[in-house]
Structures are given as structure tokens and as C-alpha cells.
Amino acid sequence: MHKYILKRLLMLIPVLIGVTFIIFTLSYITPGCPATMTLGETAPAEAIEALRQEWGLDDPFIIRFVRYVADAARLNLGETYATRRPVMEEILTRFPATLQLAVMGLFISVLLGIPLGVISATKQYSLFDNLATIFGLIFVSIPNFWLGMMLVVFFSVNLGWLPPSGFETPAQWILPAFTLGTGQMAVVMRMSRSSMLEVIRQDYIRTARAKGQKESVVVWNHALRNALIPVVTAVGLTFGFLLGGAVLTETIFSINGIGRFMVQSINSRDNPVINGGVLFLALSFSVVNLGVDILYAYLDPRIKSQYK
Amino acid sequence: MSDNNNVNTRKRPPKKKSQMADVWRRFKRNITAMVGLFIIIILVLTAIFANVIAPPVFDDRLGDYMPSYMQQNLRNANAFPSGDNWFGTDNFGRDIFSRVVHGSRISLQVGFVVVSVSAIFGVILGAISGFYGGIADNVLMRIIDIMLAIPNILLAVAIAAALGAGLINVMIAVGIGAIPGFARIVRGSVLTLREQEFIEAARSIGANDYRLIGRHILPNCMAPIIIQATMGLAGAILSAAALAFIGLGVQPPAPEWGAMLNDGRRFMREFWPIVMFPGGAIAMVVLGFNMLGDGLRDALDPRLKK
Amino acid sequence: MTESNNMLEIKGLTIHYVTDDGVVRAVNDLNIAIGRGESIGLVGETGAGKTTTALGILKLVPNPPGKIIDGEIFLDGEDIIKKSEPEMRKIRGNKVSMIFQDPMTSLNPVMTVRDQIAEVILLHEKMPAAKALEKAEEMLMKVGIMPDRAKDYPHQFSGGMRQRVVIAIALACSPELLIADEPTTALDVTIQAQVLELMKNLKEEFNTSMIMITHDLGIVAEICDKVAVMYAGSVVEYADKLELFKNPKHPYTIGLFNSIPDIGNDVESLKPIKGLMPDPMNLPTGCPFHPRCDKAKPECSEKIPAGYDIGNNHIVKCILFNQ
């Protein structure tokens, strides 16, 4: 098992370097001189030139890239143009809100999606199954930024039940979490349904029934434990969508997270923040996927025993 | 469903024409798919006849005709839906219905361009990687791993932020993220097809690689490509709208649905139609393509039911 | 043949699968009886309805599309068709258990073999979990698997070993009736012999009645007392093993024996039965075998023959024996 985790960790390194390469290349091709952006158009030319020298902006691409990777490895993502504060610091103060939002979205998608998918599969072609399938398609298709706004219009403005913005109190959590979670809930539900349909036809399910096992145990223990294996992979991808979707959801609900910070920086062309944010979220996503891979091995003894 | 399909396979005569008929028959039975197709047809017709549905209007100040979706009327701003303005008017008094109708052109254009270009790149890369394997395959799969490590929308944000706003840049930003999906699907199909006997047979009668891939392998993985393309259209339209929503996509005053949502967001608490209709249009179109894709998957390849 | 003596008695069992394309008549008016400690071989081609019959006895025919249309199944004198699902659960794995055809797929891949055996013990016997695990290991020993493999998962075992685990599950609660559905078909020939030997010994040890479903007459000769030959969903001939092997009567049974290569008797060439098994969605009228039968008479296509007892408890479902 340790071998497996170690192997996964090692495989993470080239991916992270690759991601960093993409982000760096994008910042490299972005028009506009960072030194000018930092000091402002009106700054004296010598000051700008001095800062260019300090940051080594005239060095060749590859040297700048290596420096970028080395900085990133030391958790240094540069400074914001606007405040000249370290981007990492700004991101870390906002990360808890983003993480909380994404985790709540994950809870909604997993805790609702998996049971709904399982029930749908065990009652294939029933009214419940048909409705679940149709609503699943609808929820996958609704853009979450629009869903968020409509929820605000309905629940905050019309009914006055829930606050339209902020993320401090539990009442403020509900709308953003559902905005972010419903689409992925539908994804998880569809995935669970099809995986369950596959498993429920297997011979070992018949064996469990032939033992005299209760149908509920057959479904929720024997079948689900097998059906979850592919679903876990989907949930890993779901977390990526949730991190990405947080950008939009935070904007709608004025949540002070990384996503809203990035969107604000788009308007002020503060590219170090955008790139730093994307890099940071991509790294978080990779770490989550590493966790998913380990969980996967835990769920599927066939993988575990390969690395004994 | 699968039982019926087995029967179909057994009864299916080996003619290509009747195979298509078979797919169509299965597709027709699928209500979801037919509804999806209906939505898409409406959408395409709307885009084609946008100038008929919402024709240019005469503007007194300009003394000439101008696009209906551009004409402002501040005295009639934020008006609720009425006989004159079916969807109401926005904060500049522009007719929201006209803007939604003309917005379909932008969304469809983005969707089709993104999907066709990313499909071409993805198919070529996937076919090479699956057919030749070895180093090419390894390198490509690692690159795809790296791209998939960045959540799709964030990759688009980063690219769009670097390139700047605008229609073409949005297409690039969304399109790059769509390539891995095609490449992976084609690679997977090619890997299984490569081992099959008809490929061996074609090779033995002297078909070269180019011919093998183009004539024998790719036509046999059209089903997953078509499904991926249909679902990809939904995804591309959604991503482009999301980019516009955060100010990185097509810029106002163009009647892009996502941009309209971004503009209207400030007013939504007092005036819901300004966000209701453009967003509803995105949802309908995405739903249409998703339903169509779902139905195609069932009709084209029952084994792909995942 | 009095009722009280019989472990299992099936009367007029009819099971259909109702699909969009038509009704598959898998089992039609099937009659069979098994005495205590007796083993009966259920022989027939693929698609003759053998597995459906077995699943019917456990009321595990997948529904939909399968449905028990008619008939009675007396287990120990009680009609289980009338039993509720909770009552059936007490029977399954306990009084009646089943060994499935493909050991590669009939074990749950994410549970250790010990847990899978202990599960059935815990379901039917009141004992603490630790005790059940112990008993599961004893069962593994009985089928020839060392207890140090108890915590392994199915994928770590070979096909023959997995079938031993399946047998251990089936016998863990000392069932009175064991249904073995082609238990060796998926195994190598050498392993087949070992597994059969094991089953034979365990059957004697536990004094279990057994239904051995197979298309292999060799297996029947090896371990059965009686034989029932199935064709198109019903039993066409039923007799003691020796009687049937020496004195087959039904044209189908005779055809079946003639289709087997016999190394000691190469004078006659093989005589395969002409034609194919009928489509169960579209069975012929009358005797389902008549289109393939050499001795068919006009009336064979008109009515389904009854079972005629020709003495020695030998029953043949063919009008040739209507005296």
C-alpha cells in the first residue's frame, strides 16, 4: 500500500511541473509589462527598468520558467499588481471560504447523488427512475451561475427566506452550496445509476441473494461497494468542477474566496493573481485526486494487492 | 433496452443503409432524444432567421434601420414582459427578446467552431497515439494528464485572461480544453479496433497506415466521436457563456447570453427578467444538446451506456 | 413415492420470461421429485430451462422479466410458492443452497472469502461474529483451503479454488438440499475431477439431497442416483441412473446417448440429433420434440404427451409409451 501511495506521489510531480509550465507560458505570452503594471503607467522609466532587472524579466524563457517553478515550490507566486502583496498570502487568506464552499458542494453531490442513483437503478424504468433521469439531465444543463441568480431572486428577493450574499452564517451557506452542488449531484447520480445497473446484474449479487440475504443489504452493501469503485473516480473529477465552479458561485454570492478574487483581478488585469489562483486550485485538485486514488485502492482490493 | 438491442444485432442485415435505419428507429423511440433534437432544430432555425424573428427597427435619432437588439430606449428601461417586449427590456431599454434571439447566433457559432476544431485536433492526436503507441502515445497521454489536472473552466479562464477578451480568443480558450476529451475517446476506440481481424486483413492486402486509419479505423469509431461532439457542444456553449459572465468572453454590447447575465446581475433583485431569459436560453440549449447526446449514445452504441 | 418422504417435489412448474419481443417459455409443466439424501441429475442442452428451474426452487428467477406462472414446489411438504419473501430468505442458503456455474464471477470481488462464508452463517445461525468467522475458516479447511488464505480476496484464487469457496458457502449451514448448476463447466478437466470428488464426499458427510444440473452425462454417471432429462422446459424422461443408462426410452434421450462418442464402441458412428433446440419464444405445438423426432406420428404435433410410468419408476413423456 505504501508503495502505491509513493508511486502516486511520484507521478504527481511531472503533472505539477506540466501545469506550472502551462500557467507560466500563459503569463509569458500575456501582453503588457509586469513592471509597468505594478508601478503604473506614470512611473519613471528608470524605476520600471530597475524592477525589470530585479525580476529578471529580460532573461530567456527557460530561465524565467525555472525561476517560476523554484518560486512556486517555495510557495511564492509573485506579487499582485494592485497591492504588491504576495499572491500566495492573498490566496491563503481566501482559501478557507473556497474550500468550505467546494466541500459543501461535494457533500450535496455525493450525499444526494449516490443514494438517488442507487434507488434509480434498483427501480429501473419506474416513475422515480424516469423522473430522476430527466431531472438529472436538466440539472446537468443548467449553468450554475444562472441557477444561483434564480435562487437568489426566488428565495431571497421574493420569499425573503435566505440571505442573498455572504458566507458567514449557516443560512448564508445554503444557496451557494446548492448552486454549486446540484449540477455535480446530477453527474454523480447518473454515474451511480449506470454503475449500479451494471453491478446488480452480476453473478455475485445472485450469490448474495441465494444466501438468504435481505434485498436492502444486497443493494446497499454487496452491490454498492462494487458500484462505488468507478463512482469514486467521478467524484474526484467532480471536485475539480466544484473548484472551477466556485469562481462563478463566489462572484454571485459575493463570497470572499479565491474565485471572486480572481474575477475581480480580471477586471483590473492583475494577471499574477489569475495565474496564481489557477495554479493554486489546480494543485489542490491534484492533491484531491491523489486522495481519490488512495481511496480507490482501499475500495478495490484488486489494486491493493498489486502493491503488496 | 439491451435485450432489444441484442435482438436488433441478430436481425440486422449486413447492409450499411439498414444499419442507419436501425439507429434511427432506436433513436426515434427515445423520447428524450427527440425532445433534444426538437430544441436544437428550434435553436438552429432561430439563429438562421434571427433577422426575420427580430427584424431591424427604424431608429428616429439615427434616421436609419438598426439591429433591434441594439436599439436603446432609456424611457422604457427595465420594463417587464409585455406584448411589445415579450421578455421585457434591459437597463438600456433594449428588447431582451431580440437580444436573446440574436444571441443564439453567437452561442451556436462558438459551439460549432470549438467542437469542430477541437474534434479535428483531438481525433488526429488520439488516432496517432492509439495506432502507433510507444513514445508518441506516452507523451500525448502525459500532456493530457496535465491538461486534465487543471479544471476545465479554470484552464479557459487562464487562457482567456492571457489572450484577452473577444470571440476568437474565447473559442481558443474553450477549444483547447475540449481536445483531451476527443483524444482520449478516439485513442480508446483505436486501441481496441487495432487488434481486430479486419484491420489485420486490410493490412495483409497492402493497405498503408494512412489508409488503415482513415478508411478502416476512424469510420468505426464515429459513434463515440459523434456522441462526444454533441455533449461537447453543450459544454462549449456553457463554458463560453461562463467566460462572458466573468468578463472574459464576448464583450458587451454584443448580445451574448453570458455577457447579458453579467450586465443584468446588478439589477436582478429588482428586475428578474434581465437574468431570467438569457440564462434560460443557455439552459435550454445546453439541455437540448445533452438530451440529444444521451439519446444518440443509446441509439448508436448501447454498450457505451455509462 | 409418498409425499412425506420427498425432500422436494415439483408439480406442474411453469416459468415464463415476459419481454418486449415476446414470451419466453423457459419452463413448462415440469414435474420432478427428490427423496432425502438422494441426488438427481438434471440433464439437457443449453437453453432447456435447467438453470431457470433451479432459480425457481429458490424463487430467485429475476423478476421482471421472469415470472412463475403456475405450479407447486413442495419443500419438505410445504409449498414454497405460497411463502413470503422473508420466509424464503430463511430457506435460501440454509435449507436449500446453490452452487453457481461460473466461480470467476459468483464471488463478491471486494469481500474476503472468509467474510463471504461468515455472512451466510450469521444470517442463519445465532452466534457471535467472531464465532462465525471461526466456523468460516473451518469450512475453508473442509473444502481444502488453508485458513491462512481466509483473509484473501477472490481474485487471489484460481478458478478451482474459487469454486471450493462457493461450495463452502453453499454447505456452511448444512443445507438439506443442494442445487449445483453446472459446477464444473467453467473449470479445467483435472480440477473438475477434484471438485466433483469433493462435492461427493461433502454430500455424504452432510447427508444432503442434491440436484446436479449438467449437460455432461459422465458427471451424472459419477455422482447421481436418478436422472431427469430436460427438453424445452420440461422433464421428458425420468428414471434411476442405471435404468436410464441401460434402457433409455424417450427418442430425445436415445439421441442424446447416441451423440456421445464412445471410445469402446467405434462400430457405430455418431448419430447427432437432427435440427436445433426450438426457440423457447416459439415452441412447436404438441410434443416440443416432434419436429426432430424420427418416430413422430401425426398426433405428436397435436397434444402434449403426459408422463407414462413404464415400471421401475421410469417415466417417459412420449405417446409411444401410452399403453
Mutate to test the interface with B, among A125, A139, A278 (most CBs of B within 10 A): A278
**What residues in C contact B3, CB-CB < 8 Å?**
19-21
Largest CA distance in chain A: 85
- B147 Cα to chain A: minimum distance (Å): 7
Mutate to test the interface with B, among C17, C21, C23 (most CBs of B within 10 A): C21
**What residues in A contact B276, CB-CB < 8 Å?**
150, 153
- Give residue-wise pLDDT tens across range C266-302: 555 667 777 777 887 888 888 888 878 877 778 787 8
- Give residue-wise pLDDT tens across range A233-257: 888 888 888 998 888 999 999 999 9
d(CA C95, CA C91): 5
Phi (first) and psi of residue C240, to 5 degrees? -65, 150
Mutate to test the interface with B, among A137, A198, A231, A249 (most CBs of B within 10 A): A137
Dihedral angle of Cα C232, C235, C240, C241, to the nearest 10 degrees? 10
Q: Confidence class of residue B287 from pLDDT cuts 50, 70 and 90?
A: very high
Q: Share the mean pLDDT of chain B.
A: 83
**What residues in A contact B282, CB-CB < 8 Å?**
143, 146
Chains that contact A by 3+ CB pairs under 8 Å?
B, C
> Which segment of B104-113, B173-182, C223-232 scores lowest on mean pLDDT?
C223-232
- Give residue-wise pLDDT tens across range B122-164: 999 998 898 888 888 889 888 998 998 898 899 999 999 888 8
Query: If contacts are CB pairs under 8 Å, which of residues 2-61 in chain B contact chain C?
Result: 3-4, 7
Interchain CB distance below 8 Å, A211 and C93: yes
DSSP string, B159-205: HHHHH-SSHHHHHHHHHHHHHHHHHHHHHHHHHHHHTSHHHHHHHHT
Average pLDDT over residues B13-34: 72
Interchain CB distance below 8 Å, A206 and C91: no
Closest residue, chain A, to C85 (C-alpha): A214
User: Pick from C75, C76, C56: which is nearest to C181 by CA?
Assistant: C56
Interchain CB distance below 8 Å, A212 and C123: yes
User: Pick from A278, A301, A288: which is nearest to A19 by CA?
Assistant: A278
Mutate to test the interface with A, among C98, C106, C213 (most CBs of A within 10 A): C106
Closest residue, chain A, to C175 (C-alpha): A211
Asked if the ipTM is above 0.90, the reply is: no
B62: contact with C, CB 8 A cutoff: no
Average pLDDT over residues A152-181: 86
What pLDDT score does C71 carry?
86
A308: contact with C, CB 8 A cutoff: no
pLDDT at residue C210 above 80?
yes
- Residue A286 vs residue C318, higher pLDDT: A286
> Which H or E element spans position B65?
strand B64-66
> Cα separations (Å) of A11 from A23, A31, A209, A289, C97?
19, 33, 42, 12, 48
**What residues in C contact A295, CB-CB < 8 Å?**
none
A123: contact with C, CB 8 A cutoff: no
User: Pick from B194, B72, B35, B66: which is nearest to B128 by CA?
Assistant: B194
User: Pick from B260, B231, B229: which is nearest to B245 by CA?
Assistant: B260
d(CA A8, CA A20): 19
Chains that contact C by 3+ CB pairs under 8 Å?
A, B
- Residue C190 vs residue C213, higher pLDDT: C213
Interchain CB distance below 8 Å, B145 and A18: yes
C52: contact with A, CB 8 A cutoff: no
Q: Confidence class of residue C232 from pLDDT cuts 50, 70 and 90?
A: confident
